[in-house]
A and B are shown apart, each in its own frame.
Chain A
Amino acid sequence: MTGLDVAFAAAGTVAAASAVLSVTTRHVVHAALWLVVSLGAVAGCYLVLGAEFVALVQVLIYVGAVVVLVLFALMLTRAPIGPNEEVSASPLHRALAAVLAAGVTALLAAVLVPLARVVGAVRRGGPGTTGLGEQLFGTWVWPFEALSVLLLAALVAALAVAGMARGRGAGEP
């Protein structure tokens, strides 16, 4: 156990605990706020692993944009404030979901943890922000451009989906 191991364990525990809380809480808005804590703690994990730029992008886009969009969606769909049993499925359904989720966790852990010794350990030996930028605009420049087209397509699609329904719903009560 090194100091960095301890730092990662702290950030990782916060991330895992708040992730579990965000999918089990009965307050709809609290779920989105726990998601902020979880994603922020994951950004802290990236910092510990030496990926500063990725951590910053995670905070900017995930915590900044995605969670705000989720909160907007909750507000626009008139999410109930306060505890509400209706946000989760029936107890039987939830128990089955919990069994399946535990199975996913156990399976992934059983596959990945033995693999950890094969891959080795993190020695803060990542490419660094300079190397990341060089690779992103060198090796990966075409996928990067394709992603910008994807973002544009998503923007147009979102406008089309929302506008189409409004045009069709105009004649209805």
Chain B
Amino acid sequence: MIHLEGPFLLAAVLAGAGTYGVLARRNAVLVLIGVELVLNAATVLLVAVGSTGGDRWAAGWVLTLFVITIAAAEVCVALAVVLVLFRQRGDVDVTAEAMAGEGRR
């Protein structure tokens, strides 16, 4: 038997760490790491509640699998966007000013 306080606290800490990563990082790839941590906070909650036994359609576990799949799709597209950004600007700094003439394209 596992008390649910532990999983719930872990989810809160992971969500906080992910929020910090999204807000405080300048490198676009490291912002992505923060997003992954927030997604993991959600899946920890889903698995913990799905394991309590009151879950008729196994929704907690199935939705966790769906979230993991969506995270894979999201990372795939984000990598393409980051690579295009790097090719056009030479860096992936999300706080940098817009490049001169970038708006014309």
Check if B24 sits within 8 Å of A23, measured CB to CB.
yes
Given the known interface contacts A22-B33, A23-B34, the answer about A73 and B66 at a Cβ–Cβ threshold of 8 Å is no
Check if A102 sits within 8 Å of B76, measured CB to CB.
no
Check if A87 sits within 8 Å of B50, measured CB to CB.
no
Considering the complex, which residues of chain B in the window 32-87 have a beta carbon less than 8 Å from any beta carbon of chain A? 32-34, 36-37, 40, 43-45, 47-55, 57-58, 60-62, 64-66, 68-77, 79-84, 86-87
Contact of B47 among A31, A51, A105, A157 (CB under 8 A): A51
Distance (whole angstroms) from the CB of A151 to the closest CB of chain B: 5
Count the A-B residue pairs with Cβ separation under 8 angstroms: how many? Answer: 289
- The B interface is mostly helix, strand or loop, or mixed, namely helix
Check if B80 sits within 8 Å of A125, measured CB to CB.
no
Distance (whole angstroms) from the CB of B60 to the closest CB of chain A: 8
Contact of B52 among A120, A131, A161 (CB under 8 A): A120
Check if A76 sits within 8 Å of B6, measured CB to CB.
no
Check if B70 sits within 8 Å of A22, measured CB to CB.
no
Check if B69 sits within 8 Å of A61, measured CB to CB.
yes
Check if B75 sits within 8 Å of A70, measured CB to CB.
yes
Which 9 pairs, one residue from A and one from B, show the smallest C-beta to C-beta distance? A125-B53, A105-B16, A23-B21, A97-B23, A154-B73, A101-B20, A108-B12, A116-B4, A112-B8
